[in-house]
Amino acid sequence: MQSPTRSTQAPAQAQPQHPATDAAPATSPVPPAPVVLDVRPILAAGTSPCQAIDDAIPRVPEGGTLLLLVPFEPVPLYEKLRAHGFSHTAERLPGDLWRVTFHRDQQPTEPSTAPSGCGCSGPDPARATVSNAQSAHLKIDARRLEPPQPMVRILEALEQLPNHGTLEAHTDRRPVHLLASLESRGCLARSETQPDGSCVTTIWRGPGPCPQKTVSA
């Protein structure tokens, strides 16, 4: 009688442990969402966008962007925001629209000495002047001003105009955006292009046809 055979099995050898090599790839930090500011409704309401711009600047962190939508190229803002650590790119789009992207490269290390707002309210050697401010017939010279200063200054002067009064505004070009906002203020206007390419716009408050020109250009 044969004795039963026993099978023996060598114990499994432990597999050497190797450090994991499939580490998750490093991810780039997600850039902050841009701060978007559309100043067109503000301008259409006849007010200055300066305060809205001032409020937006501190909301943009280092590495962030401020996206500005405006109906003209905001040249005065370039120097102002550069003092706040911003660079910019500007793109003109169809329909009188500019899209300007301000990128905050760094936080300013010293308090900025740049003027506040968009430059439409600060001192300006070519500041618009109003003649006969107490009269029913006003004249304003808004030439040599960067947008939106002409529109803002004209609307400020318009607040002084009584019913049936007239305001004559002299600008470097036809004030298209101003004309679009006058009807909601109960005003009518007539623009005349001058030989030098500038424009004289006569604005009157109240119904009826435009009165005769009261002052020379």
Closest Cα partner for 148 from 201, 67, 75?
75
Q: Which domains does the chain have, with CATH numbers?
A: 35-104 (3.30.110), 129-205 (3.30.110.40)
pLDDT of res. 31: 76
pLDDT of res. 123: 39
The residue with tokens 């500041």 is 127
pLDDT of res. 217: 32
Partners of 201 in beta bridges: 169, 191
Low-confidence ranges of the chain (pLDDT < 50): 7, 115-117, 119-130, 132-134, 211-217
In degrees to the nearest 10, what's the CA dihedral of 160, 166, 171, 177?
Answer: 80
Closest Cα partner for 74 from 84, 88, 56, 95?
88
Cβ-based neighbours of 146, under 8 Å, separated by 6 or more: 75, 76, 119, 120
Predicted structure pTM score: 0.49
Evaluated on CA atoms 70, 48, 117, 145, the torsion sign reads: positive
